[in-house]
Amino acid sequence: MISRFEHSPWSFWAEGSTDEHDAQRAYQATLKREHPSWRIGDDCVISELASVHPAQFSLGDRSYIAASAYVTDRIVIGSDCSVNPFCVVRGDVSMGDAVRIGAHTSILGFNHSMEPGTEVFRQPLVTSGISIGDDVWIGSHVVILDGVTVGSHAVIGAGAVVTKNVASGAVVVGNPARFVRWRVPPTSAGEADSPLGDEAAAFAERARSQVHDVLDRSWDAGRQLYTDRPGIPVSVRAQCDAIELSMLLTGAPPPNVTASGQREMLRGWQDPQTGLVASIDGHGRQSTSALFENGDVAYHIECVGYALDLLGSAFPHSLRVVTEGSAEELARRLNNLPWARNAWGAGHVVDAIGTAVHWSRRRGDVVPDGFLETLFGWLTTHSDARTGMWGDPTPDDGLLQPVNGFYRASRGTFAQFGVPIQHPDAVVDTVLRHAHESRFFSPAAQNACNVLDVAHPLWLTRATGYRSEEVRELATRLLRDALARWTDGSGIGFRASPGSVNGQPDANPGLQGTEMWLSTIWYLADLIDVSPALGYRPRGIHRPEPGAHF
């Protein structure tokens, strides 16, 4: 006999029998043994009649999944959430706390590509992901499609088909879903009736309408590869930036090569012996040397891994820098990094190591005992309580190295694995002090790296509310500067004024600058509540949601 709690689990712990409670605890214990990476909180209910088979899964306290629900892929569900009978939650989906989902609703954080000449069922899957905030009510028979962000406190009426972002506090209904009223009206600084929100929306529409022009400008037809911008050699990173840009603004891979061709090329670049991706020369020929100590090779763990993830694929080989390492070797490596003189370079290494752990766990490879714990333990115990960061200011650059190094190190660890950072108030103090340096943050002095490395830490610590008005003031100023940077048909340059990276002028628009500035613009806009106006949300290397959980 099927218990009524299978379909109505909300009263299970209050009204169920002792035997039923024991059976549910035993079932959850079995799930945890079979899936050691899963996190299931306290007082949860997962019906044995539900089909729950995600590769990554986190279920917050007091949340439940009812009978006949279908849950797969990469799912993060907060506390006090409900997935009611016959719901489908698939793909890359994250929910905050108190999200209530009516029966027969489908939340689909993936899609098929639709290139001509190949049957749809043979097409690769692509994923932008779905993000749902806190305190969201989703009615029955709703469909939410890939790439959508639903803001906190929103309500989605029964039967709605949601194809575009839903602003925080909005009530939407219909097919396609349309705004009808505010449940929680936005503040005057929020997304409604905000001139800056209007500017952000116009900027995003301009970028979307011209993204193919930007990509075509950087396409080297002779070598069938992307270059960052005309006149410079092709590179591994340029290919990844092209994928990130196209997926961000169109939800589809770049048009110049088939999705399967892009996927197999990136996979083919990985060395089966080391798992690393070596650089390519100006003719597209790959180096035979792939050393982790090479900065580009370390970065390829991140950019190639996330490009493959966006294309619905993954590295084919193990990353031996992690799988054949040890906790002791990792501690020695961390101790020997140049934190005092080059905190950015040290953070770059940490970012790559953390991301290598992420991809290794996604592949199902064995990560040595204590490896991830050593990484987080070292970072936690070596964080300077005065600054919240690692490393020291330098005579020439002030706080530039520790701030930029903090972004890199925290992105690949605390942000990527959803772990709270140490000393968040100190981080805010340090970032705001650094952002007053006009030599880095006047409009003519800015570059994508320095502004992103300020925006991301402030976004990561936003929940504290500490110095929030100053954070909003800074984000508003930097956002206004950034929204003015687009060059029609070309995108955005990495640097506001001419400088050099590897001897090449980098104020000219290119794929790297465009991708980084678009992600930075989202973080700045989200800090002042206007990100829904952009209609996009970073899903690759700069994604705001954790890629995994500790």
398-457 pLDDT, tens digit each: 999 999 999 999 999 999 998 999 899 999 999 999 999 999 999 999 999 999 999 999
pLDDT in tens, 78-94: 999 999 999 999 999 99
pLDDT band at 498 (very low <50, low <70, confident <90, very high): low
Does 247 reside within a domain?
no
Q: Does residue 106 belong to any structural domain of this protein?
A: yes
Q: Is 283 part of the annotated catalytic residue set?
A: no
Report which residue type is found at 403: V
The structure tokens 């670049």 sit at 269
Among 457, 378, 374, 474, CA closest to 421: 457
- Over range 149-166, report the average pLDDT: 92
Compute the mean pLDDT over every residue in the chain, rounded to the nearest whole number: 91
pLDDT of res. 1 = 52
Report the alpha-carbon distance of residue 225 to residue 218 in Å, rounded. 9
The angle that helices 448-460 and 468-483 make with each other, rounded to 10 degrees, is: 150
Confidence of residue 167 (pLDDT cuts 50, 70, 90): confident
Provide the 10 A C-beta neighbour count for residue 282: 12
Distance of alpha carbon 40 from alpha carbon 550, whole angstroms: 13
Q: Average pLDDT in the 492-500 region? A: 79
Within a domain: 72? yes
- Supply the CATH number for residue 172's domain: 2.160.10.10
| Cross-strand bridge partners of residue 302 | none
Residue of 112, 212, 317, 382 marked active site: 112
Q: Is 339 part of any domain?
A: no
For residue 291, being part of any structural domain is answered with no
Q: Which pair of structure tokens corresponds to residue 418? A: 């959803």
Question: At residue 298, does pLDDT exceed 70?
Answer: yes
In a domain, 428, yes or no: no
Amino acid at 125: L
Long-range contacts, 287-290 (Cβ 8 Å, 24+): none
Residue 164 is classified by DSSP as S
User: Structural domain of residue 85, as residue ranges?
Assistant: 4-182
Residue identified by tokens 């960052």 is: 228
The length of the chain, given as a count of residues: 550
* Residue 117: HSE in the Cβ half-sphere, 13 Å Cα cutoff: 4
pLDDT digits (tens, 9 = 90+) for 379-404: 999 999 999 999 999 999 999 999 99
pLDDT 10s digits, 200-227? 999 999 999 999 999 999 999 999 999 9
Is residue 202 within 8 A of residue 218, CB to CB? The reply is no
Total-model pTM:
0.72
Q: Is residue 547 part of a domain?
A: no
CB 515 within 8 A of CB 522: no
- What 3-state DSSP class applies to 55? strand
Measured distance CA(207)–CA(229) in Å, rounded: 17
The pLDDT tens digits of the residues spanning 312-362 come to 999 999 999 999 999 999 999 999 999 999 999 999 999 999 999 999 999
What pLDDT score does 191 carry?
A: 45
pLDDT at 504 over 80: no
Q: Is the pLDDT of residue 117 over 80?
A: no
> Structurally, how many domains does the chain consist of?
1
How does 247-270 read in b/e, with b if 16+ C-beta sit within 10 Å?
Answer: bbbbbebbbbbbbbebbeebbebb
Q: How many CB atoms lie within 10 A of CB 11?
A: 11
Q: Is residue 435 part of a domain?
A: no
> Tokens 């009649």 sit at which residue?
49
